[in-house]
């Protein structure tokens, strides 16, 4: 539900009485116990440059354009947004409580500040979630590190009992981004658990800036996930495909590699880097650190897959004379299994749909990635064809291409005139355009490129009944630079070095499912 921030009241509150948020993701994961107010401030001084901020406020004054966001919990006003700034103000008002004598003396020479501050009061903690998350994952404020962002999302989902899709709508973040965050959170928490008895490593894992995305890069690669014996369930919890002892041994090894910087975004970057790392740092340790001959178990995977004929076993048990050749229906493990996008009467598209319900995407991820891209292309084409918009898409494309060609041609012509000192009259435009191929023919019947079709739909939201959620999701899919995007789909087909992981395929289908639902309904009803 959209929050009307204009109704929030502004109050002048005592800085001394404001409580820093013990649930703030910057530091809530740092300790197994809840930090007190003094510990929070000292943590912020050490890890988030709050002393420097306090010094800046003391010298230049408090900027009024960024009011803290608070909410009343019990008898206290808790700072939901602005914990660094309020901590800095508390330090200025009582520097000797939080700083060394030298730093306190240094800060005191700049004078004090007003002990009250204007704050925006959120009705509840939950009402402020969207605003706070967007602030700290964007540019204007000091960004939370990835671990803090992930902790925020996890806590939000847990505390408010939200689904991933519900969180997506609340924060205007794609479901795939949320799933990635929850997987990273699971990895980070498991790392803390494994190194609980190793204080030095534990401190590094918990500190600001732990490179969790490096770990993500490793397990997002099929070879990395296979080495770890790792997969995630639908709730983004870790599932082990190896015996616990071997799993933990390999998991700890990767964390240690990250901590000692043997595994970084540079050492595990392109395809050649990845091959070298797997060969030199993992396969070379075979029989020394790891038992790489242990087969991966899919028992946990099988438990998650929907069973098609639950009653068949009971029937057999009730009637022992039942033909023993009768077997339970084969489980379908396709990426489209569970989605009702059946027959449209368009044979090739329907065949693709059936294939995507049956082909095991965990084993044949390349094939499924290519088929998924083809299905999306066909469905969007049919969606526009039914609404008689293909010619219009081609017309827009033609006009854009014509403008592009004209601009290029004008630049070339200007260059020729300057180099050879000739006039416009001496240049035969039609011949030059023909030779340079800066000409374009309008073909209303051609099959448009997928990107052009998506752009047209985004620019004409009425085609999706002005459903803002669907239009925005489709727009993000077209323009996003992450792995859940049109660019990624194209790379599945054209780049031999890009292979989607099972989790990426799952995220892509989840992200696109509402769009496919809407388009499928239009196409099916037309047949």
Local confidence band at 284 (pLDDT 50, 70, 90 cut-offs): confident
Backbone angle region of 388, left / alpha / beta, with phi > 0 → left and psi within -120 to 50 → alpha: left
List the strands of the sheet with 76-81, edge to edge.
9-14, 116-121, 69-73, 76-81, 19-20
**Sequence ranges of the domains in the chain:** 5-135, 175-301, 353-526
Task: Give the pLDDT of residue 140.
Answer: 37
Q: What is the pLDDT of residues 181-233, one digit of tens each?
A: 899 999 999 998 998 888 778 888 887 678 888 999 999 999 999 999 999 99
Q: Are 143 and 136 in contact (CB under 8 A)?
A: yes
pLDDT number for residue 95 = 92
Q: Give the tens place of pLDDT for each residue, 110-151.
A: 888 889 999 989 988 877 776 665 554 543 344 456 777 788
Q: Which two tokens stand for residue 51?
A: 């002393």
Q: How many CB atoms sit inside 10 A of residue 214's CB?
A: 18
Residue 342 burial (CB < 10 Å; 0-12/13-18/19+)?
Answer: exposed
Instruction: Compute the average pLDDT of residues 285-292.
Output: 75
pLDDT greater than 80 at residue 85: yes
pLDDT at residue 407 in the model? 83
- Identify which of 303, 301, 324, 300 has the alpha carbon closest to the alpha carbon of residue 312: 324
Residue 305 has pLDDT above 60, yes or no: no
Mean pLDDT of 71-96: 91
- Helix (H), strand (E), coil (C) string for 397-409: HHHHHHHHHHHHH
**Token pair 């919890």: residue:** 237
What's the CA gap between 277 and 267, in Å, rounded? 7
């Amino acid at each position: 539900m959209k929050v009307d921030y204009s109704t929030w009241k502004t109050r002048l509150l005592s800085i001394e009485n404001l409580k820093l948020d013990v649930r703030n993701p910057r530091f809530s994961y740092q300790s197994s116990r809840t930090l007190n107010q003094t510990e929070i401030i000292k943590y912020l001084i050490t890890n988030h440059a709050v002393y420097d901020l306090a010094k800046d406020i003391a010298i230049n004054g408090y900027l009024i354009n960024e009011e803290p966001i608070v909410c009343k919990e019990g008898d206290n006003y808790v700072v939901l947004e602005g914990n660094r700034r309020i901590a800095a103000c508390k330090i200025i008002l009582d520097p000797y409580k939080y700083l060394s004598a030298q730093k306190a003396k240094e800060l005191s020479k700049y004078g004090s500040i007003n002990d009250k501050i204007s704050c925006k009061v959120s009705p509840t903690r939950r009402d402020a979630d969207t605003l706070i998350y967007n602030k700290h994952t964007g540019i204007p404020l000091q960004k939370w590190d990835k671990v803090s962002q992930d902790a925020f999302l996890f806590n939000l989902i847990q505390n408010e009992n939200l689904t991933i899709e519900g969180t997506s709508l609340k924060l205007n973040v794609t479901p795939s981004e949320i799933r990635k965050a929850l997987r990273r959170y699971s990895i980070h928490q498991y790392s803390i658990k494994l190194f609980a008895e190793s204080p030095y490593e534990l401190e590094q894992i918990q500190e600001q800036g732990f490179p969790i995305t490096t770990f993500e890069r490793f397990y997002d690669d099929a070879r990395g996930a296979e080495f770890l014996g790792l997969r995630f369930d639908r709730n983004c919890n870790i599932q082990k495909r190896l015996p616990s002892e071997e799993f933990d041994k390999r998991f700890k090894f990767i964390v240690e590699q990250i901590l000692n910087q043997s595994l970084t975004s540079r050492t595990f970057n392109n395809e050649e880097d990845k091959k070298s790392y797997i060969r030199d740092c993992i396969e070379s340790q075979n029989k020394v650190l790891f038992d790489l001959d242990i087969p991966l178990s899919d028992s946990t995977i099988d438990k998650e897959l929907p069973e098609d004929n639950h009653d068949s076993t009971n029937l057999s048990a009730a009637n022992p004379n039942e033909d023993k050749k009768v077997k339970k229906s084969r489980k379908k493990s396709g990426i489209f299994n569970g989605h009702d996008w059946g027959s449209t009467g368009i044979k090739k598209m329907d065949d693709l749909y059936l294939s995507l319900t049956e082909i095991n995407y965990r084993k044949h991820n390349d094939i499924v990635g290519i088929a998924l891209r083809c299905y999306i292309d066909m469905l969007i084409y049919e969606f526009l064809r039914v609404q008689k918009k293909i010619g219009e898409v081609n017309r827009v494309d033609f006009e854009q291409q014509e403008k592009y060609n004209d601009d290029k041609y004008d630049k070339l012509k200007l260059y020729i005139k300057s180099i050879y000192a000739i006039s416009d009259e001496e240049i035969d435009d039609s011949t030059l355009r023909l030779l340079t191929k800066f000409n374009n023919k309008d073909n209303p019947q051609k099959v448009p490129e997928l990107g052009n079709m998506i752009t047209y739909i985004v620019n004409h939201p009425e085609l999706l009944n002005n459903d803002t959620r669907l239009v925005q999701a489709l727009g993000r899919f077209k323009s996003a630079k992450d792995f859940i995007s049109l660019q990624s789909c194209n790379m599945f087909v054209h780049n031999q070095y890009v292979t989607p992981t099972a989790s990426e395929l799952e995220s892509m289908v989840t992200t696109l499912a509402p769009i496919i639902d809407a388009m499928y309904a239009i196409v099916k009803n037309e047949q």
